[in-house]
Amino acid sequence: MTGTPHIVVVGSGLAGYGVLRELRKLAPDARLTLITQDDGHFYSKPALSTALAKGKVADTLVTTPAEKMVAQLKLDLRAGRIVEAIDRQDKALLTTGGPIFYDKLVLALGADPIRPPIDGDAAHRALAVNNLDNYREFREKLPDGARVLVMGGGLVGTEFANDLSASGYRPVVVDMLGHPLAQLVPPGVGQMIRDALAEKGVEWHLGRKVVAIHKSASGISAELDDGLAVDAAAVLSAVGLRPHIDLAQEAGLDVGRGIKVDQTGCTSDPSIYAIGDCAEYPQG
């Protein structure tokens, strides 16, 4: 590689923009290109599950518009593009807007919501809020004061339950485990969280799972594995995330749960790196 290196980053989330900031500091003259299927605006994804009570709509969650990020970091932004394949031999990304060549490539692809197998004619209505567009759609589907089914009592599901109850909605949380945040906190702490949110109007169905979602007069009727029917106006799926590895796997990179990298973030291809939720580091 001679001349000014061309470094391409795929993904405009926290990891993608974070690495771009560091690259610009370390390599002031490097050519930096950001490819994203979104519009390139910068926002904090954790804010998605705490925004309702603050009265935030999708547009007000944007902390830095794309054009300002471009100016700050001196980027070539290719927004609204989907990367369909990586040509490792020619060092090219095949995108919906044409090929983009790279010297070094950083994959900051994030993670995709897990879609649990659920029967019923309204199963498709379970919405996972994983980006601004998802949040916008979720808000639009929420009637004031509505009952909202939340599938998942982990960190995101519990945060949404708290946010919904603080915003005047009536959340109903269904989780297969015995207490909220079961993979993060001991049972005693989980019980305290459950009780505190129950006082705020959160309804809990723990040790249960949703097996079917049907259309109903209220919106949906969710059938639990114990036969109980839960009526609600909307369904939020927060059962977890799966690292986005398809693009890397199809390119022949080593993958496991995520895209396998070494301690420097380098994949099995010395010209390609992975960072953030899509990456699987040696320590797990």
Percent of the chain with pLDDT over 90: 96
Give the residue-averaged pLDDT of 225-234: 97
The answer to whether residue 1 sits within a structural domain is: no
Domain range for 137 is: 115-237
Residues 130 and 267 in one domain: no
Count of domains forming the chain = 2
- Read off φ and ψ for residue 63, nearest 5 degrees: -95, -30
Rounded CA separation 183/100 (Å): 41
Q: What is the DSSP letter of 119?
A: B
Distance of alpha carbon 11 from alpha carbon 20, whole angstroms: 10
CATH of the domain at 158: 3.50.50.60
Average pLDDT over residues 206-232: 96
Q: Could you report the per-residue pLDDT of 62-103, keeping only the tens digit for each?
A: 999 999 999 999 999 999 999 999 999 999 999 999 999 999
Tens-place pLDDT, residues 155-169: 999 999 999 999 999
Q: Is residue 169 part of a domain?
A: yes
Q: Are 10 and 55 in the same domain?
A: yes
pLDDT digits (tens, 9 = 90+) for 140-196: 989 999 999 999 999 999 999 999 999 999 999 999 999 999 999 999 999 999 999
Q: Are residues 30 and 103 in the same domain?
A: yes
Token pair for residue 205? 């169905």
Mean pLDDT computed over every residue of the chain: 96
**Cα–Cα separations (whole angstroms), residue 31 to 1, 19, 36, 67:** 13, 14, 17, 17
Domain for residue 93, yes or no? yes
Q: What is the pLDDT of residue 4?
A: 83
On whether both 79 and 121 belong to a single domain, the answer is: no
Q: Quick one: 56 and 137 in the same domain? A: no
Question: What predicted TM-score, i.e. pTM, was given to this entire model?
Answer: 0.91
Q: How far is CA 38 from CA 80, 82, 128, in A?
A: 5, 9, 17
Per-residue pLDDT at 270: 98
- pLDDT confidence of 125, banded at 50, 70, 90? very high
